[in-house]
Structure 1
Amino acid sequence: MIVAKDVKQLDEALHEARLKNKTIGLVPTMGALHQGHLSLMEQAKKTCDILVVSIFVNPTQFGPGEDFESYPRQLEVDSKLAAEANCDVLFCPAEEVMYPDGPTQLVHVRQGADVLCGARRPGHFDGVATVVLKLLSLVGPHKAFFGQKDAQQLAIIKQLTKEFFLPVSIIGCPTVREEDGLAKSSRNVYLTPQERAMAPTLYNALQSAAQSGERQLKKLVSMVENELSILPIGSIDYVEAYEYPSLKSVDYVEGTVILAVAYQFSKARLIDHILIEFTNRNRGEA
């Protein structure tokens, strides 16, 4: 595995692969790698000749008072995990590499960023879109792999590549969960033992609503809110439902809906969602 810390090293690492027209797959991460990230790498290795994994804690997607400074950083451990996943190139740039003149230019996301997490984290998806655009430009992958766990992010990135005519396929990969249903996340380490025991209720509530067959989105939201309201700890940040992937607000839909939740524990804000496909038969998907 080649470790590249700047643009020159990255170009040198990918030079031969580019000359030979090998397919390059990119898995962008902020580190603190877990099984969810490793599943993205596994999928990339199956369909691409070269796997590039980036590790960069992106400051422009964190707002005031968020956990940028305390976000888990474990490059030595992550490097070992990436190598074990047969990563070919690990790109781990410093902030001055990604923002050499500071964040003087940012992508502004106008559609899909004013709902769900975007409504509560102003500017968050501007930062996400900006760093993803930079990574795609630097690596030049044929495919880039993202987890469906961050479904809003996935929809926005797909639109980003469409709007800017980027020659890359964005691949959404299924959410990886613990045995009890909790979506794997780098922020799960912030949970206390009591909070960890309660956390699977988020996914259970989403599943119950999805399996109800209800088509009115307000009623789906109420079902989830009612189930979460009885938790003795933490508080609901939001429960919302939208048409997907447009993220448009509708009352009643024929098609696919995202039913999503964010829940605030003492130090961990967890997000989860389920996609419900309203066809002749209702089917919930994580």
Structure 2
Amino acid sequence: MSGSTRDAVLTVSGLRRSFGGVRAVDGVDLSIAPGEFVSIIGPNGSGKSTTVNLISGVLKPDAGEILVRGKRLRPGRPEAAAAAGLARTFQNGRVFGGMTVRENVDVGLQTTLHAARPLRGLADIPVLRWVSLLAEVAVALAPTPGVRAERRAAAARIDAQLARFEERLTPRADQSAYTLSYANRRRTEIARALASEPQLLLLDEPAAGMNQAETAEIGRQLADLKAQGQTILLVEHKMELIHQLSDRVLVLDEGRVIAEGAPDAVLADPRVIEAYLGRSRAGKAVIDA
């Protein structure tokens, strides 16, 4: 692992999750330093997406600990992960088809709102959750100056994220997401995740289903994010992106970490080649980056 627990944006220790008799994630350790771009690779079924789902709270681990900036994250609570500064995209892109592109991106801002969610701390207390909801309804119906200022700031942040994708999203800001091309839906999902200015951006195969030109474009945009200091955890099958962007690569096979290090060294590791190609084909092959 890289970096200390105190300084790391994310620290994962002994993460485990089984489904029936299958151990999908088996003792994964991971640490990501501020501004670091870390990629997780591995053959199909190796546990990559399950690891991201555990970190982001979509799934609850059977064992292990997840720390964000040294603070323990409540397991299996996606809202807690979001509040701690984690934002993600999904392997199978998820946008709200009946909402506009702008409204989809606005969803990503919800964890950053204060004036519009005046009692949001009560949302974690079941018997008082309704008080938080009533307070939000009240300020929505009769917005205070603070709420109006917050909305103006949110609109500017939405425009900034749409502009990141230039002509792809900005001209379509008020179109329903279901009318978008597949690639633009993926871009909308990334813009939504970035709207909260996350401590850690988790991307689960953002280039899946994209053609070569679209993949190259998303690669340039991720490179810009990296240059701006965004901390990123990427799951991806396209090795050109892994090689181009990663500071460090973690390789999973059957839920376990089998290699970790710089891209060139990892992609030439015999254990990694064997995991992808099988022992009989591995030989002296090198994974094509």
| TM tier relative to shorter chain | under 0.3
Could you tell me the TM-score, scaled by structure 2's length?
A: 0.23
Structure having the larger proportion of residues in helix: 2
Larger Rg: 2
Higher relative contact order (CA 8 A, sep 6+): 2
